[in-house]
Amino acid sequence: MKTKPYAVIGLGRFGTSIAKRLFEAGQEVLGIDIDETKAEDAELFLSHTVVADATDERALTSVGILNFDCVIVAIGNNMQSSILTVMILKDLGVKKIIAKALGKHHGQVLDKIGANLIIYPERDMGERVANQLLSPNMLNYIELSNEYNIEEIMIPSKMAEKSLKELDIRAKYKVSVIAIVRDGEILVSPSPKKIIHRGDLLVIIGNKESLAKFSRLE
């Protein structure tokens, strides 16, 4: 049988944002919630929603949960239900389970019972806000490891109207420019002759310390 991409269990704020974004990107998404009102509200922006208790194995089987490639458990404050749901999904043989954790201990349990990816929304958002305060020119980042990031950084004004060769960013700041974002367009692997303009964003790879220094330049 052909599998479907995503099911989201728990249509609170977190689950709803995931489901909505996936659906807007053209993906088929099934939303599941124990609360009828939540399921009804989500019908406005999802292809399918069902009312079901995810801690009930039969209920999950009857909605065809095994037909989904990836199940996201976005049950919020009820830790017991979140853990039980992940256990059932794992037992049933769901291949990819992503689960939201309220904190470290919850996350450790989810990891032990086999969740493939654990998200800590509050912790991650807190870190993101702090990083943005520390590096005001940094707009976005992807953490590659404890040491390395890819960051999208607004160019310091003194760099405007100069070529990458002139700026010699790699030698001076020990980071590498992998793309320039200009008016929403992405110029990948820019040539050294490329001139940087005011308002450009640079996508840069490097170690976190060097990136932090670069993003504090004025």
Q: Which residues bind ligand ADP (CB under 6 A)?
A: 9-15, 32-35, 38, 53-55, 74-78, 81
Min dist. Cβ of residue 81 to ligand ADP (A): 4
Burial level of 150, CB count in 10 A (0-12/13-18/19+)? Answer: middle
- Cα–Cα distance measured from residue 193 to residue 164, given in angstroms and rounded to the nearest whole number: 6
Q: How far is the CB of 181 from ligand ADP (least distance, A)?
A: 31
Of 7 and 32, the one with the shorter C-beta distance to ligand ADP is 32
The letter for the amino acid at 175 is V
Q: Which residues contact 118 (CB under 8 A, 6 or more apart)?
A: 98, 99, 100, 101, 107, 110, 111
What is the gyration radius of the CA atoms in the chain, in angstroms?
22
User: 79 or 205: whose CB is closer to ligand ADP?
Assistant: 79
Please, what is the minimum distance in Å from the beta carbon of residue 27 to ligand ADP?
A: 20
**For residue 143, what are the β-bridge partners?**
149
Please state the closest distance from residue 149 (CB atom) to ligand ADP, in A.
27
Whether 182 and 198 have beta carbons less than 8 Å apart is answered as no
* 54 vs 169, beta carbon nearer ligand ADP: 54
CB of residue 17 vs ligand ADP: minimum separation in angstroms?
8
Judged by CB, which is closer to ligand ADP: 75, or 177?
75
Between 74 and 89, whose beta carbon lies closer to ligand ADP?
A: 74
- Distance CA(106)–CA(83), nearest Å, equals 8
Strand partners, 97: 71
Query: Whose Cβ is closer to ligand ADP: residue 50's or residue 154's?
Result: 50
- Backbone φ and ψ for 53, nearest 5 degrees, come out as -90, 115
- Smallest gap from Cβ 71 to ligand ADP, in A, equals 12
